[in-house]
Amino acid sequence: MAQPLLRLLKQAHPERAIDVLAPPQVVPVWRRIQEADDILVTPFRHRALQLGERFKYARLLRGRGYSDAYVLPNTLKYALIPWLARIPRRVGYKGEMRYGMVNVMHHDDRPPRSMVPFYAALAHEPELPLAKAGRPCLVVGGEETEAVGQRLGIDLGRPLIVFAPGAEFGIAKRWPPAHYGALAREVVRTMPDVQLALMGSPNDRETCEQVQGFAGDAADSLIDLAGQTSLDDAIALLAKATAVVSNDSGLLHIASALNRPVVALYGSTDPNYAPPLSDMARTVSLRLACSPCRQRECPLGHHDCMNKMSVERVWSELAPILARRGA
165, 173 contact by CB (below 8 A): no
pLDDT truncated to tens, each residue of the chain (327 aa)?
999 999 999 999 999 999 999 999 999 999 999 999 999 998 877 666 678 888 888 999 999 999 999 999 998 888 999 999 999 999 999 988 788 999 999 988 767 789 999 999 999 999 887 767 899 999 998 899 999 999 999 999 999 999 999 988 878 899 999 999 999 999 999 999 999 999 999 999 999 999 999 999 999 999 999 999 999 999 999 999 999 999 999 999 999 999 999 999 999 999 999 999 999 999 999 999 999 999 999 999 999 999 999 999 999 999 999 998 654
* pTM, rounded to two decimals: 0.92
Question: 3-state class of 266 per DSSP?
Answer: strand
Residue 171's pLDDT is what?
Answer: 87
Question: For 278, which DSSP code?
Answer: S
> In this structure, which CATH number among 3.20.20.70, 1.20.1250.20, 3.40.50.2000, 3.30.2350.10 belongs to the domain 147-324?
3.40.50.2000
Q: What are the extents of the domains in the chain?
A: 3-123, 147-324
Nearest CA to 253 among 224, 278, 286? 278
Residue 178's pLDDT is what?
Answer: 97
Nearest CA to 128 among 106, 102, 101? 106
DSSP states of 142-181: HHHHHHHHHHHT--TTS-EEEEE---TT-GGGPPPHHHHH
Neighbours of 157 (CB within 10 A): 8
Burial class (CB in 10 A: 0-12, 13-18, 19+), 151: exposed
CATH class of the domain at 3-123: alpha beta
Residue 327's pLDDT is what?
Answer: 46
Distance (Å, whole) CA 175 – CA 191: 22
Q: Residue 224 forms beta bridges with which residues?
A: 198
Residue 77's pLDDT is what?
Answer: 87
* H helices present in the chain, as ranges: 3-12, 27-30, 51-64, 76-84, 115-120, 142-152, 177-190, 205-214, 231-238, 250-257, 304-307, 311-324
Do 147-324 and 3-123 fall under one CATH topology?
A: yes
Distance (Å, whole) CA 58 – CA 41: 13
Burial class (CB in 10 A: 0-12, 13-18, 19+), 77: middle
φ/ψ of residue 161, rounded to 5: -105, 130
Torsion of CA 292, 298, 299, 301, to 10 degrees: 130
Give the CA count within 13 Å in the CB-facing half-sphere of 287: 4
Residue 326's pLDDT is what?
Answer: 57
